[in-house]
Amino acid sequence: DCGNSATPLQGGVHGLWMIAHARNTKTNQEVSIWTFDKRKYTSDPRYNKVQSYKSAVHTLFDIIRRDGSLMAKLIHPRVLKLVEPFEETAASFTVVTEPVVGSLHDVCGNVREFDLGVAEVLAGGVQLAQAIEFLHTAGLVHRGISPWTCVVAEDGSWKLGLGFVYAKTSVEADELRDAFNFPPHDANDGPPIHAQLAYTAPELAHPSQPNASTAAAAATPMQSLMDIGIDNTMGAVPSTVATPPDAAADIFSLGAVMFRALSSACKSQTTELISCKGNAATYRRMLLDAPNSTGGAGARLHELRNLLARSGSAMMNDANEPIFDLLSNALSQNPSSRPSAANLTRHPAFMRPETQALGMLDNLLAVE
């Protein structure tokens, strides 16, 4: 059995992995098989004619191998479990994992039927925050969190899946710095070795930005991106636990992922907070230069706030302010204004009874 969906499921960095459902013939266990087809790039005419293209392909394969090496070492309930290790042939990479409904990209795009409401997004968001807390406690920063690198397991829980290709520890040299040197044009004409720009924090995408705005952000921490009148009284207190450098970048990415999921939950036509298609100039305009203008990131968050207020159930209406307090803090342009992962898991938006009930149900299903 290789899947029951007419539309292929996609996951991992940039959605480059195809996901199929199968059953292990030895154990009779349901699994998901992830396949990365190397031939998509090695059969391209440029591979043997353009040295820069060939070099980029080899870089892409190297970071895919790095993904497999890291995932084999990460054991946590909120990290996708490998059933069989990475395998590499001349034609492909393959890995077998616990069964998944699909990536969050698949779920948000309605590729697979899944009841995605506001409560489900909050339950999934806190589970991803728990996974990020685990990474940061271990001194690891993900730097590649996006709807493609988050998965929904068969029990409904949300986990970090394939996509640790840009991760780094606090002590190792950043050999993947080029992954965040985004070109000023659309980055769609070669192997996707850059991080997913729409979900990348500004201090990684534009390293000079935090230094330029630190003083202003410290004086008015909420004003940098979301100057839309949100009460900041529910902001988390600073964590006393040391976190690795760039850890706040993962919090920004989680905020952007939750925006995507909430937009899907309320059937919004706006899907991404920063719709830049890998274009660094568009990213800067939407997030840094004019966030509150039409189409800007701040304006889009304000639109989502209003849409949720109109379309939400009576039970969830009083959750709107905590939700947007959470997003506003997570999506701050200033890294020091974002909560730590540990504090984020205790945010009032995540402490609602219906959200905790869903989390408890997921835990029970996982035990079974």
The pLDDT score that the predictor gives to residue 313 is 53
Per residue in 141-184, pLDDT (tens digit) is 999 999 999 999 998 999 999 999 999 886 665 667 777 888 76
Per residue in 52-89, pLDDT (tens digit) is 899 999 999 998 998 988 888 999 999 999 999 899 99
**Beta-ladder partners of 158:** 152
The whole-angstrom separation of Cα 292 and Cα 199 is 18
Burial class (CB in 10 A: 0-12, 13-18, 19+), 356: middle
Per residue in 94-118, pLDDT (tens digit) is 999 999 999 999 999 876 667 788 8
Tokens of 174: 């950043």
The pLDDT score that the predictor gives to residue 354 is 55
Burial class (CB in 10 A: 0-12, 13-18, 19+), 152: buried
Low-confidence ranges of the chain (pLDDT < 70): 1-7, 111-113, 170-175, 184-189, 207-245, 311-319, 352-368
Other CB atoms closer than 10 Å to residue 22's CB: what's the count? 15
In angstroms and rounded to an integer, the radius of gyration of the C-alpha atoms of the chain is: 20
Residue of 22, 42, 40 whose CA lies nearest to 32: 22
The pLDDT score that the predictor gives to residue 144 is 94
The pLDDT score that the predictor gives to residue 216 is 31
Tokens 């009460």 belong to 231
Q: Are the C-beta atoms of residues 201 and 252 closer than 8 Å to each other?
A: yes
Tokens of 198: 């729409």
The pLDDT score that the predictor gives to residue 295 is 82
Sheet hosting strand 30-37, strand order edge to edge = 9-11, 17-23, 30-37, 92-97, 82-88
Tokens of 326: 């959470």
Alpha helices in the chain (DSSP H): 39-42, 51-71, 104-108, 118-137, 202-205, 209-219, 247-265, 280-283, 297-311, 314-317, 320-330, 341-344, 353-367
AA letter at 211: N
